[in-house]
């Protein structure tokens, strides 16, 4: 849910022969994913739908697993999102959520309305709230999930941000053609993101089971 450019869909289809369904409101991602699925020979196992997870029509109890990698941060109503994920899963199905979070409630309170955080929310995310992981745990538990794993992925995600920084630097000329100054803005944003990474911000993964 919030499948981006489809990396996980394609990986699960290719490596584990899973049938995968990706949901994203972003129109351009769908044609890209179906093209890659054809190239990789997994088109029969990968489908996508355009829309918002909270609203799109999907079969209740129709999925073994639901994943949300870096997408719950864009969804304002946590209660609705966890309830929807649970409704889509079969009994014993698994929900995997990985997300960037302020390190605790106090850091969220102190930083979330600062100019730098507002820049990320408005210019990078569109809309986003980097809730502390305790809010995600509460949301999952309140929806009836059993928490079966909580992992700190901060060090792994630092490498992801380093990768984005390298991409911005190597594609700076193309990015500047979109808007002069954009490459520099993105570079500063990513450098600052990694400077606070592990201090004010973290990245966690929650694994939850629909145990009953």
Ligand X SMILES: C[S@@+](CC[C@H](N)C(=O)[O-])C[C@H]1O[C@@H](n2cnc3c(N)ncnc32)[C@H](O)[C@@H]1O
Binding residues vs ligand X (CB under 6 A): 1-4, 7, 23-26, 29, 52-54, 69-71, 74-75
Nearer to ligand X, 16 or 180 (CB): 16
How far is the C-alpha of 11 from the C-alpha of 27, rounded, in Å? 21
Q: How far is the CB of 151 from ligand X (least distance, A)?
A: 16
> Contact at 8 Å (CB) between 70 and 164?
no
Q: How far apart are CA 17 and CA 105, in angstroms?
A: 40
Do residues 65 and 89 touch, judged by C-beta distance below 8 A?
A: yes
Closest approach of ligand X to the CB of residue 81, in Å = 8
Beta carbon nearer to ligand X, 102 or 110: 102
Q: Smallest distance from the beta carbon of 7 to ligand X, in angstroms?
A: 6
The span from the CA of 201 to the CA of 195, in Å, is: 10
Nearer to ligand X, 6 or 132 (CB): 6
Separation of alpha carbons 29 and 11, rounded Å: 16
Tell the smallest beta-carbon distance from residue 180 to ligand X (Å): 25
């Amino acid at each position: 849910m919030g499948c981006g450019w489809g990396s996980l869909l394609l990986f699960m289809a290719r490596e584990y022969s899973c049938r995968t369904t990706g949901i994203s409101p972003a129109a351009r991602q769908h044609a890209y994913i179906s093209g890659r699925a054809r190239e990789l020979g997994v088109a029969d196992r990968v489908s996508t739908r355009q829309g918002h997870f909270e609203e799109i029509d999907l079969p209740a109890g129709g999925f073994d697993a639901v994943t949300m990698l870096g997408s719950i941060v864009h969804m304002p109503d946590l209660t609705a999102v966890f309830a929807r994920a649970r409704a889509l899963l079969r009994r014993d199905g698994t929900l995997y959520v990985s997300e960037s979070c302020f390190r605790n409630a106090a850091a969220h309170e102190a930083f979330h309305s600062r100019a730098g955080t507002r820049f990320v929310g408005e210019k990078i995310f569109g809309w986003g709230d980097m809730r502390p992981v305790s809010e995600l745990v509460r949301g999952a538990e309140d929806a009836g999930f059993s928490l079966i794993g909580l992992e700190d992925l901060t060090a792994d995600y630092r490498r992801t941000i380093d990768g984005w920084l390298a991409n911005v630097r190597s594609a700076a000329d193309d990015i500047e053609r979109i808007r002069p100054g954009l490459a520099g803005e993105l570079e500063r944003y990513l450098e600052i993101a990694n400077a606070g990474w592990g201090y004010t911000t973290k990245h966690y993964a929650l694994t939850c089971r629909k145990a009953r």
